[in-house]
Amino acid sequence: MDRRQIWLSLATLALFAVVPPLTVIFDQPFYMDMVARIMVFAIAAVSLDLILGHGGMVSFGHAVYMGIGAYAVGILSYYGIDNGFLQIPLALAASALIGLIFGAMSLRTSGVYFIMITLAFAQMLYFLAISLEEFGGDDGMSSMRSEFAGLIDLNDAMHFYYLVFAVLAGVLFCLHRLVLSRFGMVIRASRTNERRMQAMGFPTYRYKLAAFTIAGTICGLAGALFANLNEFVSPDVMHWTHSGEIMIMVIMGGMGTLIGPVLGATAFLLLEEYLPQWMEMAMTDAGEHWAIIMGPILIAIVLFGRGGIHALLAASLGRNGNNGSKRDD
């Protein structure tokens, strides 16, 4: 990670950090919840970036791990167990186990077959969740926020916000170190030329399976936070459209950059929130057709902003830095 990427990452986290004080000053609590939602999806997008951006594994069912984490919290809450020290580890363990099982089978394929089998596994669990009438079926179920023995009150919006912020910062740091380690180097090299890595003696299947499991576990953590944020769990979070949205966030922000998916999640969710309103203001009853505008925006970013929003911002910082250096000379 070069200096521009470091500054961009720090600036992004700094902006997230100052949101609560600003919402208090301007008396706009809605924005705290909205940014908390952005950060939850950013965690899910960063987890996908580990296998998609660095490992070249196009998983089209990644949202299923978010659903598993959410249901781990929701089901325990349904039975009156709201202890976060039990809910969160169970969400992580369940996501890791499913990620290990699905990855072990999916990684024996490649290309379009890998994409389709990850989609098939995700849809299988989606329809399983719909069939669970005990837990609300297609209608979903309400969930209580996790309790942490009085150490942190998640019913307090600011406490919950900074918990999500801390998790996002911790995930970014850990994955940054992981990507720069030997493990990360093998994952990245396998994306470029897996046969050569195997010829050099690296068991690439094991490395990729480990990365797939780690990505699923982190996404499960995002799901546990998502259940706490909404105080509601439904099968909809597992649907393939949500997997596609998480993938769009990664592509919009910039694959293989870690902070890029955070920027992509921010841009995507802000557009999803405000684009219908802008269209409604410009033309009556046009808000429900907001995807007509969203599509060309995504296409433009892919065609003209190779590397996503991250690349555009990094290039802008580079130009400003060069201009500053010339003036100093």
Chain segment 48-68, per-residue pLDDT in tens: 999 999 999 999 999 999 999
Q: Is pLDDT of 282 > 70? A: no
> What integer pLDDT is reported at residue 234 of this predicted model?
93
Q: Is pLDDT of 324 > 50? A: no
Chain segment 64-117, per-residue pLDDT in tens: 999 999 999 999 999 999 999 999 999 999 999 999 999 999 999 988 999 999
> What integer pLDDT is reported at residue 326 of this predicted model?
46
Residues 12-47 as b/e (b if ≥16 CB within 10 A, e otherwise) read bbeebeebbeebeeeeeeeebeebbbbbbbbbbbbb
Q: Between these two residues, 125 and 286, which has the higher pLDDT value?
A: 125
Q: Between these two residues, 324 and 57, which has the higher pLDDT value?
A: 57
Kindly indicate the confidence band of residue 272, based on its pLDDT and cuts at 50, 70 and 90.
Answer: confident
Asked whether 314 and 9 are in contact (CB, 8 A), the reply is no
25's tokens: 């000053």
Q: What is the mean pLDDT of the chain?
A: 88
99's tokens: 């990620």
Task: Return the CATH number of 3-328, one of 1.10.3470, 1.10.8, 1.25.40, 1.20.120.
Answer: 1.10.3470
> What integer pLDDT is reported at residue 181 of this predicted model?
93
Chain segment 178-209, per-residue pLDDT in tens: 999 999 999 999 998 889 999 999 999 999 99
Whether pTM exceeds 0.85: yes
- What amino acid occupies position 300? A
Q: Residue 221: name the closest of 77, 37, 47, 83 by CA.
A: 47
Query: Rounded CA gap, 262 and 60, in Å?
Result: 19
pLDDT more than 70, % of the chain? 91
Identify the residue whose tokens are 């003696």.
201
Mean pLDDT of 156-180: 94
Least confident span in 167-171, 192-196, 321-325 = 321-325
> What integer pLDDT is reported at residue 296 of this predicted model?
84
Rounded CA Rg of the chain: 20
Full DSSP string of 239-266: SHHHHHHHHHHHHHH-TT-SHHHHHHHH
Chain segment 1-30, per-residue pLDDT in tens: 567 777 888 888 999 999 988 888 887 888
> What integer pLDDT is reported at residue 289 of this predicted model?
67
